[in-house]
Amino acid sequence: MKILRQRLLRGANLYARFPCILGLIDLEDLELAPPSDLLSVVERLHALVPTLRERCLAPLPPGFDAGTVIAHLTLELQCLAGAPAEFCDTSLAEGPSSLRRVVCAYQIEHIAQSAFSLAVYLVDALAHGLPFDYATPFDQLVRQSESYRIDPLTAAVLAAAHKRGIPANRITEHDALYQLGTGSRQRRYHPRLPNDTPLMGPWIAQDRQLTRALLDEACIPIPQGGTVDNLDDALRVARRLGERVLVMPGDAGAGDGGISECSGDRELAQAFAAARQFGRRVTIERLVAGARYVGEAGASSAGDGLAALCARASAKLGLEQGAIELAYDEADPGAASVIAVKAPPPLRGHARDIEVDEFLDMAGAGDAARIPVIAVTGTNGKTTTTLMIAHAAALAGRRTGHASTHGIFIGGSMVAEDDCTGYWSHRAVLSAPEVDMAVLETARGGILKRGLAYDQCTVGVVLNVSDDHLGMEGVDTLEQLARVKELIVACASGAAVLNADDEHCVAMARRIGHGAELIYFSLDPANPALRDHLGGGGRALVLDGASMVVADGAGKRILIGVADIPCTLGGRARYNIANSLAAAAALLGAGFHDAEIVAGLASFVSDIQSNPLRTNLFHVRGMTVIADYAHNAAAYAALAEAARAMTRGAVVGVVTSPGDRRDEELHRTGRICGMGFDKLVVYESASRGRVYGQAAAIIRQGALSARASADAVEGVDDRVLALRRAFALCSPGDVLVYCGTSVGALVEALEPIDPQAARAIAG
Ligand code: ATP
Ligand code: MG
Ligand code: MG
């Protein structure tokens, strides 16, 4: 038996609404072991772990296999270690028939991982009659668990919070600091600290490990490093960091003492011993060079820059006084990190006995402890819709945090860049004390790899489901892909926004029961699913003629003419009409007024600054250029349709696709492009595991399969040359659609053709 993969799904996931460990195992020869052999394994396990019979494995589910035994044993070992969990599941995994997916709930990550490994080891040894040692690893597990154990008061607070529907998040496993609730409605709880964030701040600031964890959670840069409790680990961390490091106490209560700068193993051992006098844990950090900046804690400063970073750091730590020290690069002040936090001495003798209910009353019950969350998923249009919703919410006066493929934005400032559509990014937004409302682009990959960072969202949006990423992460069919995306609407407490024009979304609508209101959106007033829904008194956002209307059982009202929504390019980009309808539906579901929705849609612009490479329009020597990030068949179809509506001339495409898609998908992308564009230049971008040029070749074949002749389907290796070739194929009045991930390539291609346009695009 072998463990092939192990994952911690930290939040709501495809199997449960709480954290689970997911193990992919290969049963190998045990797949075909006769039931009598398995029964004897179970009997011997019962002798070894008697509680297994009493608690979990009685009665064994019919047809159980070694995977089931491992799942139950993982659960039981966690219970015995004092970190009980109550759910486990086993299923066949895609691939060879000996693969099993074992899922088991957990409280503490490290305990779950150890329990799972121990369970696999034991079952394997018993089944093969191998010698094994149970006592030693089990003792280790129990000892490991003790360091994470929570006290009875904390347990009572967590249980009461759970009963009231208040989400509780332990910030780090080494410490009992909890975030109860989300965003600006959160409160912190710690069994040994004052229960008031400003009083707690100075205590937190003394604890280097906790301070680092909180800053890191907020995407505030900190020096590379780690916290350890023994010299071996200290040496390992220090060697990884390189030449000179700082060694300091990692626990609370050290103040400024015990910090030393050192290099080499000998100096490190001395520094470790010195820091160790202040507490159990020792933090080692890379010594950061550069200029220094000190900002006062609590001074509130919006926008970007060093002062704003200090303000964000002090807000995150809950510090109203003191100072934040930054190191930064004078050549690039954007690259700053927090190297020290100075806080006033914590108030001692503060009463910390709390009345659980009284405390939770202050934390707010259920919804009052949560900020509204709008989660957006789908194959195409997530980023655009997320930005549109966030823009409207901010315009309506909400302090908005949003995460998308572009990055994380808190109150209008970018705090992290690039793909931020998964667990850690969402956690950064949901834990930010200055955020009143969260809008979260939630991608397939993140759901599968880490689970969601929220157990519940106010509004869940699924825009569409089409083929992209099939064959990855065990998702092979559109139905399976739809089940992944469905998690977003299944978690919605307020409204589920679904596309009535997409059969997979309609199937989801049938499955979501109780709780959330279904709000459909549709480009087609005659859509049967939509009409049924309206007939039953439901609400929907519909394109009706040239207007966006809100329809319900009783009638309809016009929100806005689509020509007044800039990103629809005068109503010609139908995909952005669909995205605008979805955004409006989500805002409506979250309780925004019509006027707020209209103001948002009317002023959202998808240009190179605000939404780079999403329907960005330029004019070059009488031609129209659309620069876009399309990379699957549905997106190409949508773009070609929009481009066609903009001209009576030719529509020329410069297209590509990442190579990690299946042959069928690339071929279909090609066929759609072959049908949609009059002239086509195909280039290779990210080969991702394929031989260079192969992805482009399959797209070209697909394009040719849709056309009578090979005319005007060209392949050019380099994207800049591909663009230049396409410009050569264009005449004034034509539309050129450039699909790719690089604005720079467009600028470079244009320089010899139209330097003025190149400069304008480069900004
Ligand atoms: P990714 O999965 O790469 O993060 P995304 O879902 O966030 O993509 P966007 O970045 O908003 O999507 O849009 C990418 C491109 O997909 C658009 O520029 C457009 O070409 C196309 N697109 C956007 N919305 C739709 C839609 N509703 N239907 C079809 N295609 C769309
Ligand atoms: Mg995608
Ligand atoms: Mg995106």
**Of 380, 579, 669, which is best to mutate to test ligand 1, by the most ligand atoms within 8 angstroms of its C-beta?**
380
Mean pLDDT of 725-750: 95
Question: How many angstroms is it from 419 CA to the middle of ligand 3?
Answer: 8
Q: Give the pLDDT confidence score for residue 242 in this predicted structure.
A: 83
CA atoms of 303 and 281, how far apart (whole Å): 36
Q: Please, what's the largest Cα pairwise distance for the chain?
A: 85
Q: Evaluate: CB of 384 within 6 angstroms of ligand 1.
A: yes
- Lowest mean pLDDT of 197-211, 399-413, 484-498, 553-567, name the range: 197-211
Q: Which atom of ligand 1 is nearest to the CA of 378?
A: 6
Amino acid symbol at 537: G
Q: Give the pLDDT confidence score for residue 176 in this predicted structure.
A: 86
Beta carbons of 462 and 447 less than 8 angstroms apart? no
Q: Evaluate: CB of 381 within 6 angstroms of ligand 1.
A: yes
The residue whose two tokens read 């296999």 is 65
Q: Evaluate: CB of 639 within 6 angstroms of ligand 1.
A: yes
CA atoms of 485 and 379, how far apart (whole Å): 9
* Helical residues (DSSP H) of 49-196, grouped into ranges: 51, 66-80, 109-127, 135-146, 152-164
Q: Which atom of ligand 1 is nearest to the CA of 614?
A: 18
CA atoms of 507 and 487, how far apart (whole Å): 13
CA atoms of 529 and 669, how far apart (whole Å): 28
CA atoms of 450 and 244, how far apart (whole Å): 35
Q: Give the pLDDT confidence score for residue 230 in this predicted structure.
A: 93
**Of 376, 379, 384, which is best to mutate to test ligand 1, by the most ligand atoms within 8 angstroms of its C-beta?**
384
Q: Which atom of ligand 1 is nearest to the CA of 441?
A: 7
Question: How many angstroms is it from 316 CA to the middle of ligand 1?
Answer: 33
**Nearest partner of 523 among 381, 655, 633, 403, judged by Cα:** 381
The residue whose two tokens read 């495409």 is 653
- Per residue in 237-254, pLDDT (tens digit) is 999 998 899 999 887 655
Q: Which atom of ligand 1 is nearest to the CA of 615?
A: 18
Question: How many angstroms is it from 382 CA to the middle of ligand 3?
Answer: 5
Q: Evaluate: CB of 615 within 6 angstroms of ligand 1.
A: yes
Q: Which atom of ligand 1 is nearest to the CA of 639?
A: 20
Q: How confident is the model at residue 349 (pLDDT cuts 50, 70, 90)?
A: low
Residue ID of nearest Cα to ligand 1 atom 27: 575
Pairing of strands 547-552, 555-561: antiparallel
Compute and round to an integer the Cα radius of gyration of the chain.
28
Question: How many angstroms is it from 662 CA to the middle of ligand 2?
Answer: 14
Beta carbons of 455 and 11 less than 8 angstroms apart? yes
**Of 440, 607, 629, which is best to mutate to test ligand 1, by the most ligand atoms within 8 angstroms of its C-beta?**
629
The residue whose two tokens read 């939509």 is 530
Question: How many angstroms is it from 430 CA to the middle of ligand 1?
Answer: 25
DSSP 8-state secondary structure symbol assigned to residue 56:
I
Q: Which atom of ligand 1 is nearest to the CA of 576?
A: 24
Beta carbons of 376 and 440 less than 8 angstroms apart? yes
Residue ID of nearest Cα to ligand 1 atom 28: 575
**If residue 122 lies in a helix (H) or strand (E), which one and from where to where?**
helix 109-127
Residue ID of nearest Cα to ligand 1 atom 15: 630
Q: Which atom of ligand 1 is nearest to the CA of 632?
A: 16
Q: Give the pLDDT confidence score for residue 358 in this predicted structure.
A: 77
Q: Give the pLDDT confidence score for residue 390 in this predicted structure.
A: 98
655: helix, coil or strand?
A: strand
Q: Evaluate: CB of 629 within 6 angstroms of ligand 1.
A: yes
Pairing of strands 282-286, 245-249: antiparallel
Question: How many angstroms is it from 371 CA to the middle of ligand 2?
Answer: 27
Question: How many angstroms is it from 723 CA to the middle of ligand 3?
Answer: 24
Could you give the percent of the chain with pLDDT greater than 70? 98
Q: Is 283 exposed, middle or buried (0-12, 13-18, 19+ CB in 10 A)?
A: buried
For every residue of 339-396, DSSP letters joined together read EEEE-PPPPSS------HHHHHHHH-SGGGGS--EEEEE-SSSHHHHHHHHHHHHHHT
The residue whose two tokens read 């092939």 is 4
The residue whose two tokens read 């980009």 is 573
Mean pLDDT of 167-195: 89
- Lowest mean pLDDT of 55-64, 107-116, 501-510, 527-536, name the range: 55-64
Q: Give the pLDDT confidence score for residue 233 in this predicted structure.
A: 94
**If residue 237 lies in a helix (H) or strand (E), which one and from where to where?**
helix 231-241
Question: In this structure, which ligand is nearest to the CA of 640?
Answer: 1
Q: Is 609 exposed, middle or buried (0-12, 13-18, 19+ CB in 10 A)?
A: exposed
**If residue 248 lies in a helix (H) or strand (E), which one and from where to where?**
strand 245-249
- Per residue in 113-164, pLDDT (tens digit) is 999 999 999 999 999 999 999 999 999 999 989 888 888 888 888 999 988 9
Q: Evaluate: CB of 632 within 6 angstroms of ligand 1.
A: no
How many CB atoms within 10 Å of residue 213?
20
- Lowest mean pLDDT of 189-198, 448-457, 589-598, name the range: 189-198
**Nearest partner of 733 among 624, 616, 641, 627, judged by Cα:** 624
Residue ID of nearest Cα to ligand 1 atom 25: 381
CA atoms of 638 and 632, how far apart (whole Å): 10
- Per residue in 279-304, pLDDT (tens digit) is 889 999 999 989 999 999 988 877 77
Q: Give the pLDDT confidence score for residue 148 in this predicted structure.
A: 86
Q: Evaluate: CB of 383 within 6 angstroms of ligand 1.
A: yes
Beta carbons of 17 and 490 less than 8 angstroms apart? no
Question: How many angstroms is it from 443 CA to the middle of ligand 3?
Answer: 8
| Residue 57, pLDDT above cutoff 60 | no
Question: How many angstroms is it from 438 CA to the middle of ligand 2?
Answer: 21
Q: Give the pLDDT confidence score for residue 396 in this predicted structure.
A: 98
Mean pLDDT of 630-642: 95
Q: Which atom of ligand 1 is nearest to the CA of 387?
A: 11
DSSP 8-state secondary structure symbol assigned to residue 297:
T
Mean pLDDT of 635-646: 96
Residue ID of nearest Cα to ligand 1 atom 4: 405
Question: How many angstroms is it from 600 CA to the middle of ligand 1?
Answer: 19
Residue ID of nearest Cα to ligand 1 atom 12: 381
- Lowest mean pLDDT of 196-210, 437-451, 500-514, name the range: 196-210
- Per residue in 664-711, pLDDT (tens digit) is 999 999 999 999 999 999 999 888 889 999 999 999 999 999 998 888
Question: How many angstroms is it from 210 CA to the middle of ligand 2?
Answer: 35
Q: Average pLDDT of the chain?
A: 92
Q: Evaluate: CB of 736 within 6 angstroms of ligand 1.
A: no
Q: Give the pLDDT confidence score for residue 655 in this predicted structure.
A: 96
Question: How many angstroms is it from 32 CA to the middle of ligand 2?
Answer: 39
| Residue 451, pLDDT above cutoff 70 | yes
Beta carbons of 4 and 95 less than 8 angstroms apart? no
Q: Evaluate: CB of 461 within 6 angstroms of ligand 1.
A: no
Mean pLDDT of 194-200: 80
CA atoms of 280 and 249, how far apart (whole Å): 8
